[in-house]
Amino acid sequence: MVGEGDKKENPNPRFFVAVHVGAGFHAPSNEKSLRRAMKRACLAAASVLLKDSSGCIDAVSAAIQVLEDDPSTNAGRGSNLTEDGQVECDASIMDGFSGAFGAVGAVPGVRNAICIASSLAKDHMMRPSLLGRISPLFLAGEGARKWATSRGIILPETISEANAVWFLILYYCLSFADILSVLQNLK
């Protein structure tokens, strides 16, 4: 794994994993599901670190994937919709040891945006610059989808497919039209 830090073998690796689910308002009724999501995320990261204590990028990515897959968080599957009724995801990751960084923004039709951001960071760490050019560190929108596909990251073929299958989940009690109507009245 692409890793950071000391490469010495350690039979008892020591690490600390902490996650959060955002700084916004969280309804008290969601507290239990959010705590369960955070616990699963910490365990996913710990599982990676127990196998390879230098795989911090992979550990962080594993934790964030758990949060992106949980509909109770405002990430991935639980994302708020855009004014057009779509899901666009952002993600970023940085390796504190090497300074490698990867980020994506406003990416439509992607289940785990962190996978693309992690791949960008690893690409930056592993690939030498070609003719003085460095690999991208930040990609947005459809360009991020294209880059991910070129790197073998599996994505739904169309954004509509992703929205229908993954993102637009049933717990949105109001129809999008109702939500949009409320937003228009606030303007």
Do residues 83 and 170 share a domain? Answer: yes
**Centroid of chain to Cα 70:** 11
Q: Are 44 and 136 within one domain?
A: no
Give percent of the chain above pLDDT 70: 82
- Residue 1 lies inside a defined structural domain of this protein: no
Amino acid at position 132, single letter:
G
92 lies in the same domain as 166: yes
Residues 103 and 187 grouped into a single domain? yes
Single-letter amino acid, residue 140: A
Angstrom distance (rounded) from CA 70 to CA 34: 9
Question: What is the extent of the structural domain holding 35?
Answer: 12-78
Domain C-terminal end among 27, 54, 78 = 78
Q: What is the pLDDT of residue 170?
A: 42
pLDDT for residue 10: 63
Indicate if 100 and 158 belong to the same structural domain: yes
> What is the value of pTM for the model shown?
0.81
**139-171: per-residue pLDDT in tens?**
999 999 999 999 999 888 777 777 666 655 544
Which has the closest alpha carbon to 138: 147, 129, 130, 128?
Answer: 147
**Burial readout 98-115 (b: 16 or more C-beta within 10 A, e: otherwise):** eebbbbbbebbbbbbbbb
Does 96 have pLDDT greater than 60?
A: yes
Q: What is the pLDDT of residues 99-135, one digit of tens each?
A: 999 999 999 989 899 999 999 999 988 877 777 788 8
Number of domains in the chain: 2
Domain termination site, one of 56, 78, 100: 78
